[in-house]
Structure 1
Amino acid sequence: MVAGFRSESAIRMLSRLDDGALMRGAFLLLLALTTVFLLIDVREIATKRQLPTFDPSHPMPFLPPAGTKADPDRPTVNPASPIEDLAKPMTFNLGPGGCLLAEGTLDLGAALRFAREVEQRGEYIKTVELNSPGGSVDDALAISRLIREKRLNTKVASRALCASSCPIILSGGVERLAESDAVVGVHQLFSDSNDRPTPQEAMSAAQSATARIARHLDAMGISAGLWFHALETPPDHLYYLTAQEMADFRLTTKAAARAKKKN
C-alpha cells in the first residue's frame, strides 16, 4: 500500500509539471553529466601526461622520428647533435662573430644564466644560435623577452634542433633565421613535475600558460597559426614546420622577405 501510494503521488507530481520544466530538468541533468565527464578527462590528463623532460632513462618524446610533417614528401632530417648532449641543461658559449650558442634543455634557471651571460658579454653578442629540444616555458619566455629588449638576432643552424618551447626563444629575435634542414617544431604543453594537481589546477595552469605564450608571440609579431599547430599536436609528437610555414607565420624574417619578393 505504501509503495502504491508513493507511485500515485509521483505520477500526480509529474503530471503537474509542464513541458518547459521537464526540458529544464533534462538540460540540467545533461549539464551535470557533462561536467562529471569533463572532470574525469582532465583528471586523466593531469595524472597521465606527466612526461619526464630531463630523465635520461626515458626517450625524449619530441625528437624524431615521432612527429607530424607539414610536407609528407619532405625527407626526415635528424638533428646533428646526440640526444645525450641535448638532454643536458642549457649552456651558453660565445663564438666568432658575436654568435652565442644556446644548447641543451631549457632547465629551470636557464633564463638567469642567460641574463648573466648577456650582462657580462652583452656588447659582443649579436646573434643567439639555438640548439634545444625545449623545456621550461617560463625560462623560454624570459630569454625571448631579453633577446628582444637587447635587439639581438636569433638563428637555428642547419640540422640543429629547436623544438617544443624553443621556438618561443626564436621568436624574440629582431631578425630570425632558420637555415636549410633546421629542425623546428612545436607541440602541446606538458608538465615534467612529479606533483599531481587537481583537475581544476591542471586546467587553470594549462589555460594560463597558453594565454601567456599566445600573448608573447603576438607581441613578437608572430602569427597565431603557429600556436594552433602546437595545440593540435600531442606532447609525445612534434609538428615539423616547413620553411614556407615559418615564413608565413613570420617566425623567420629573412625567409619571409624572400617570399615577398617572389610575389
Structure 2
Amino acid sequence: MRIDEAVKALARLDDGVLMRGAFFSLLSATAVFLWIDMRDIVALNAALPGLGPIHQDQPVLPPALTEGVPKAPPVEPASSDEVLRQPMRFELRSGGMLLAEGTIDQGTGVRFSEEIEARGEYVKTVALNSPGGSVEDALAMSKLIRERKLDTKVASRALCASSCPIVLAGGVGRIAEEDAIVGVHQVFAGSGNRPTAEQAMSAAQSITARVARHLDAMGIGAGLWINALETPPDRLYYLTAKEMADFKLTTEPAATAETKS
C-alpha cells in the first residue's frame, strides 16, 4: 500500500477506534510492568492487594500519588479505620437507601445478592463507604446493581477506594457528594495460594481486561482505568469532581449532603 493510500485509510478510521486501540496498547504495555511488580511481590511473599479484608498493618487510606510524591487525601473520612476494616455489612435506611459499609471481602458479592433478594423491592440507591477489597466481588455487586437498575452514591466524607469505584460504576445514576473521597489504583486477582510470577502475570492481565471491559459496558471513560493502572497498589489516585464527571463515573454534579438528603 502506498503512503498516500495508508494516510487516507487512517483518516477514515473513527476516533473511537483509534482511542480504543491506544487504550488496549497501553493495557498490553502495562501488563509487562505488572509482571515486574508481581514478581517482586512474590519474592517478598506479600499478599496480593485487592483481595479480601485489609490487614491490620495496611493503611485504610493510602497516600495519593501526585507526580510520584505521596500526598494526603483531600479530606479525612468520617468513619473510623475500625469501621472500614470490618467485612462489608448492609443497612437499609429510609428513602430506599441501602448503606454498604466496610471492606469488600471474599463472599461480599453473595451476601449483597442475598440482601437485594430479600429487600430489593425497597432499595433504590446503594450508598458506598468502603476502602475496597475483592475485585471479583466488586464486579459481581456492580453487575447486579445495573441489572436491578439501582443508583449508587458516595456521601460527603464517605470513602470509595480501590475496587469500590467498580461498584459505584454499576449505578444507573451515580452521585458523589461534595468531599466524597473516591480513589483508584492497580488491582489484582488470584487464589489463596502463593502464585508464581507467571501465574501472577496471567491473573493481572485477566483482571485488567475484565475490569476494563466491565467499565466500558457501564459507560465509564477509559481515562479512569488508565489512572488506576498508573498508580501503584500502595497509593491512590484521588479523583476530583471534574474528573469523575469527565470520566462519566458520576452522572450528576457533586452535591452537598444537605441538598441530596
TM-score over 0.5 (shorter chain): yes
- Note if contact 2:186-2:231 (Cα within 8 Å) is conserved in structure 1: yes
**2:113 is the counterpart of 1:78:** no
**2:44 is the counterpart of 1:45:** no
Over the matched positions of the two proteins, sequence identity in percent amounts to 64
Structure 1 distance, partners of 2:157, 2:251, is: 19
Aligned position for 1:220: 218
Distance of aligned partners of 1:39 and 1:138 in 2 relative to their CA distance in 1, 3 Å threshold: closer
* Equivalent residue in structure 2 for 1:130, among 117, 124, 128: 128
Distance of aligned partners of 1:55 and 1:155 in 2 relative to their CA distance in 1, 3 Å threshold: closer
Q: What is the deviation of 1:198?
A: 1.2
Q: Which amino acid aligns with 2:156?
A: S
* CA deviation string 1:163-207 (max 9, x = no partner): 000000000000000000000000111468663211110100000
Aligned position for 2:19: none
Aligned residues between the structures: 216
* CA deviation string 1:131-161 (max 9, x = no partner): 0000000000000000000000000000000
Alignment RMSD (CA, Å): 2.5
Aligned position for 1:12: none
* CA deviation string 1:105-126 (max 9, x = no partner): 0011101111111111111000
* CA deviation string 1:39-83 (max 9, x = no partner): 8765223333525763553132x505x11359x999820111001
Structure 1 distance, partners of 2:37, 2:152, is: 39
Structure 1 distance, partners of 2:40, 2:72, is: 35
Q: Which amino acid aligns with 1:119?
A: E
* Higher deviation after alignment, 137-146 or 75-84: 75-84
* Equivalent residue in structure 1 for 2:227, among 215, 229, 233: 229
- Note if contact 1:135-1:166 (Cα within 8 Å) is conserved in structure 2: yes
Aligned position for 1:15: none
Structure number with greater Rg is 1
* Equivalent residue in structure 2 for 1:68, among 50, 65, 68: 65
Aligned position for 1:54: 53
TM norm structure 2: 0.76
Structure 1 distance, partners of 2:92, 2:206, is: 34
Structure 1 distance, partners of 2:195, 2:171, is: 35
- Note if contact 1:188-1:232 (Cα within 8 Å) is conserved in structure 2: yes
Distance of aligned partners of 1:110 and 1:250 in 2 relative to their CA distance in 1, 3 Å threshold: same
Structure 1 distance, partners of 2:72, 2:253, is: 18
- Note if contact 1:69-1:241 (Cα within 8 Å) is conserved in structure 2: no
Following superposition of structure 1 onto structure 2, how do residues 1-263 of structure 1 map, counting pairs within 5 Å?
42-48=38-44, 49-50=46-47, 54=53, 56-60=55-59, 63-64=61-62, 66-68=63-65, 76-190=74-188, 195-255=193-253
Aligned position for 2:20: none
Distance of aligned partners of 1:180 and 1:39 in 2 relative to their CA distance in 1, 3 Å threshold: closer
* CA deviation string 1:5-32 (max 9, x = no partner): xxxxxxxxxxxxxxxxxxxxxxxxxxxx
Distance of aligned partners of 1:118 and 1:196 in 2 relative to their CA distance in 1, 3 Å threshold: same
Distance of aligned partners of 1:45 and 1:80 in 2 relative to their CA distance in 1, 3 Å threshold: same
Q: Secondary structure at the match of 1:254?
A: coil
